[in-house]
Chains A and B, each alone.
Chain A
Amino acid sequence: MGKKKFLSWTLLLLLLVSTALYGCSSDNGSEESGSEGGSTEEKQLIFGRGGDSVSLDPITVTDGESFKVTKNIFDTLVNFGEQDTEIEPALASDWTASEDGLTYTFTLEEGVKFHDDTDFNAEAVVKNFERWAAGDGEQYPYYGSMFGGYGDDEGHVIESVEATGDYEVTFTLNRPQAPFLKNLAMSPFAIASPTAFEAAGDTFGDKPIGTGPFKFVEWKRNDTITIEKFDDYWVDGEPKLDQVVFRAIPDNSARLNALLSGEIDLADGITPSDAGTIEGDENLQLFERPSMNVGYLGMTVTREPFDDPKVRQAINHAIDKQAIVDAFFEGRAEVAKNPIPPVISGYNDSIEDYVYDPERAKELLAEAGLPDGFEMELYAMPVPRPYMPDGQKVAEAIQKNLADVGVTAEIVSFEWATYLEKAANGEADAFLLGWTGDNGDADNFLYALLDQDNVGTNNYTYYKNQELHDILIEAQSEVDEDLRNELYMQAQEIIHEDAPWVPLAHSTPLLAGGNNVINFKAHPTGSDKLASVDLE
């Protein structure tokens, strides 16, 4: 390195340092939180989250990070309630269902525009459903799983969707589907501009056009998605914000740091152990997302000794759930006794949970011919999930509980995709897992997770019970709410008796925001509508 080179390096370093110093002194305030951020007087809300979206064409994806954004660009025919899964009007102002549950007629809002100025009307709704029904499981995965298939598939619930007026749409079903309206409220079934998706084809997700409160502006992959106020939004006085930026900050601690320094206004994925920090900070507030999930210990019933219901009941008695909830959920969860959370219609509260009783557990093991216990592998989740913030620690607690009744559990863990595959293949003796509901319906828990139809996919325990199956299938098409709930009550009794799971907890996921965030209501589905959110 010569004299000249050395000098130029030094100069460059000086330049860097001086620019940085200059920067520190000149643009203070732009990193501060509050409404005078950046160069405008606009109300900008920065929402920090754990990951990026996959696509902004909601029908093509299954991940929550995509729906978080699309929920604000699009509207659905009907809405969930503000913080529950009751059905409310949205693009459809009113609807009637026939006695037999085979015909639904929707009256649509008039004068609604898509962001590209296309008129929203019955024709637009029909075109959306035609697009989805012509697809397949690869293109539009949620359509097939919620409506039983595509086109002429045997299981396809929707026979036809017709425009019976300019602002009236009639659905004819092949068979009654009890959660039909709840399904329609799900984010993937948002109504998109036919003009836009016909022109864009597969690239519609790069420039999504809906009728929602915000228009798409820009997407910097793995970094930020920006949406801005749609001036002609059909709901008067909404949205309140001028712009929302969704920022991907994968590390939980770093996301909290960004919130503490005011770079973001709202952060999700707050760990229970950080809740104290937020509550002790006068500039911040904590938001609770109503629980619609379950975390559980599954036992694979095809593997010895878990093929014996007595052994599974013994394990249920052996585990101290309350201690686990207190220690690893910081109390921000309730102990679970059923596979569905209490907010869900059809929850059976009369079920008496297996009490924590090591002695009873030992007795049951002895009855099952295992007085000296046995050895097993216990799968511990490698990643934090909303329904289980720390799978490793929960596994250690369970390991200790099991040791007390003579069962030796070896904890094993794998990278997430491998973990799911091994569990789905039935390779685990017992495993920790969980589920967050899609549409707030009992079917979406009980049938999806415990029916024999779903062994090998979401029924990781390989538990099969014909009686349960008949009840669940009947409930799917029972349109009378009371009768249907009665069926689910019975289903939970059967599951309780057979005990393929140890239901552990229904957790309350946490978010945090600056004190200037007004009217933010976290939704149990995990996608939050920000139309009425404001900044002071």
Chain B
Amino acid sequence: MLHYIGRRLLQLIPVLLGMTFIVFMIIRAIPGDPAQVILGQQASEEAIKALRSNLGLDNPWYIQYFDYLKGLVTGDLGESLRTRTPVVDEVWPYLAATIELSLFAIIIAVIIGINAGIISAWFQNSWFDYLAMIIALIGVSMPIFWLGLMNQWIFSIELGILPTTGRENVRDPVDVITNFYVIDTLIAGDFNQLATVLKHLVLPGTALATIPMAIIARMTRSSMLEVMRSDYVRTARSKGLSMFWVVYKHALKNAIIPVLTIIGLQMGLLLGGAILTETIFGWPGIGRYIYEAIGFRDYPVIQSGILIVAFIFVMINLFVDLLYGLVDPRIKYD
């Protein structure tokens, strides 16, 4: 097991390295000059030239890339060109905000998605099955900005039960400790604030959850249908076990593996793909951090931000692979 993990981690190095190279080349291939953006429209030619050389942007690309790698080896993710702050120091609050939102979203997506998929498979071709799959189709195709703004209008303006944007009630701000506001309010023991923080998670969380929820539901359904036709399910049924236990205990165990893969992939996608949701809901997450960095041509932030997201993505996948072993004893790692 440990041997397997070690091998997998080693395999990550060329993958991440290749990724830094691709990102590095792409962002330099697009036009736009960080020095010009930083200095603003008023800047003189000389100032821009001076800044470019100061930032090392006038070196050939391979030297720039090599310098970046040298920094990475020593744990230095570079310094934001715009805020002049090391990326390592400023990235955590954004990352925490996104992780909190993504976890919330994936929990919703998993609970609703898996159960909807199971019931659809159980009562195949029933009205529930059709309805659930139609809703899933709509969920996948629904533009998030439209859904998000509609939900804000319904739940905040018309019903007044949920806040429109942000992570907290800014009139009563959370004292930041870990940057996970749910945990921070728990530590402070302020349940009023905890409720407010959870309420702030609902709209962006559900908006973010729609697509993975739909995908998980469809995957669960098809995977369950396959298992439900198998011999041991028939055997279990004939032994007189209730359908509920057969479905939820015996069948699900075998059906869950492809679903786990999908959940892992979706979780990774949420981390980097929440830009729209973060924009609509004013959520200060890493997606927006990277997106705004692209607008400012803040190379180190783009490179390291994407690197961090990619690293988490592959770690989640590794974790999912290890989960298979727990779920299905037939899978062994050695």
A residues at B contact (CB < 8 Å): 1-3, 6, 9, 12-13, 16, 19-20, 22-24, 26-27, 30-31, 37-39, 44, 46, 51, 54-55, 62-63, 136-138, 141-142, 144-146, 202, 218, 220-224, 226, 245, 247-251, 253-255, 257-258, 260-261, 263, 415-418, 420-422, 424, 435, 438, 448, 456-458
Contact = CB atoms under 8 A, between A and B. Distances in A.
Given A24-B161, A415-B30, 17 more contacts: A1-B253, A19-B198, A55-B83, A55-B84, A62-B40, A136-B50, A137-B46, A220-B93, A248-B282, A250-B279, A254-B149, A255-B282, A257-B157, A261-B163, A261-B164, A263-B165, A458-B41
A401 B42 CA distance: 32
Given A1-B253, A253-B149, A416-B295, A247 B282 contact: yes
A30 B171 CA distance: 7
B122 to A, nearest CB: 15
Nearest to B42: A145
A6 B51 CA distance: 58
16 contacts: A26-B192, A30-B169, A31-B169, A46-B170, A51-B292, A54-B83, A137-B44, A137-B48, A141-B38, A141-B40, A202-B84, A220-B93, A248-B284, A251-B280, A257-B152, A415-B295
Given A223-B166, A457-B43, A254 B82 contact: no
Instruction: Give the top 5 A-B pairs by smallest Cβ distance, nearest first.
Output: A23-B195, A137-B47, A62-B40, A38-B171, A417-B32
B194 A19 contact: yes
Nearest to A218: B173
Contacts of B279: 250-251, 254
Interface string B22-47: 00000000111100111111111111
Contacts of A136: 47, 50
B42 A421 contact: no
The bracket for how many chain B residues form the interface is: 35 or more
A254 B195 contact: no
Contacts of A261: 152, 156-157, 160, 163-164
Nearest to A22: B195
A251 B282 contact: yes
Contacts of B110: 9
B54 interface: yes
B95 to A, nearest CB: 12
Interface in B276-311: 279-282, 284, 288-289, 292, 295-297
B167 interface: yes
Contact of A258 (B90, B93, B165, B284): B165
Given A63-B40, A138-B39, A261-B157, A254 B295 contact: no
A458 B36 CA distance: 11
Interface in B294-334: 295-297, 327
Given A137-B43, A222-B94, A20 B198 contact: yes
Contacts of B47: 136-138, 141, 144-145
A63 B295 CA distance: 14
B169 A141 contact: no
A438 B42 CA distance: 10
Interface string B189-205: 00010111011001000
A136 B49 CA distance: 12
Contacts of B245: 3
A421 B36 contact: yes
Contacts of A30: 169, 171-172, 192, 196
Interface string B139-167: 00000010011001100110011011111
Contact of B42 (A6, A142, A251): A142
Interface in B243-261: 245, 248-249, 252-253, 256
Contacts of A250: 279, 282, 288
Given A142-B42, A253-B149, A224 B172 contact: no
B199 A1 contact: no
A146 B47 CA distance: 13
B188 interface: no
Which of A31, A418, A438 has most chain B Cβ within 10 Å? A31
Contact of A247 (B40, B111, B170, B199): B170
A23 B39 contact: no
A254 B279 CA distance: 9
Contacts of B281: 254
Contact of A31 (B41, B163, B280): B163
